[in-house]
Structure 1
């Protein structure tokens, strides 16, 4: 395999990983900041208060964006990985 093809495939694979992970990481950030602000304002220091809402938000956004994530990964494999394997 030529180095150019390898690095181009690697670059696109990393971009797909970033694209697929942005919704989950974004909602985790927003939920964490919201719960942290709530805890700072109310002086409640309960460990489960940070974990449960963040987990619920991550599961909900994962369920909502599962089709997008699957389609992005399938397109990447069909357009980049499979032709690279077939081509040699």
Structure 2
């Protein structure tokens, strides 16, 4: 196993993790920001107020994009397993 192969595996792993986790993180960040702006304008200082909207958005994101996310992870895992099989001989 060469250094270039290891670097390509790491690069693809990071890309896949960003591709799969990115939508959830971005949407939860936007919801948190909107709820924080709402809290600042209404002066409601309830810390648990951001939890429920974030959970709802994350659940909706997983319900709508979960199939695609799972397929991306399966493709990556299959590629890694095939690489292991080739290296083992």
Q: Which range is displaced more, 58-67 or 8-17?
A: 58-67
The question of 1:82 aligning with 2:89 is answered: no
In 2, the alpha carbon distance for the partners of 1:66 and 1:29 equals 19
In 2, the alpha carbon distance for the partners of 1:82 and 1:51 equals 38
Instruction: Tell me how large the CA RMSD over aligned residues is.
Output: 1.1
| 1:21 positional shift | 0.6
Instruction: Give unpaired runs (5+ residues) of structure 1.
Output: none
Q: Which residue of 1 aligns with 2:45?
A: 45
Q: Which residue of 2 aligns with 1:22?
A: 22
Q: Which residue of 2 aligns with 1:58?
A: 58
Q: How many equivalent residue pairs?
A: 87
Instruction: Give unpaired runs (5+ residues) of structure 2.
Output: none
- TM-score, normalised to structure 2, is 0.90
| 1:2 positional shift | 1.6
In 2, the alpha carbon distance for the partners of 1:33 and 1:63 equals 22
Which deviations, in whole Å up to 9, do the C-alpha atoms of 1:24-51 show, x marking residues without a partner?
0011011001101110111111112111
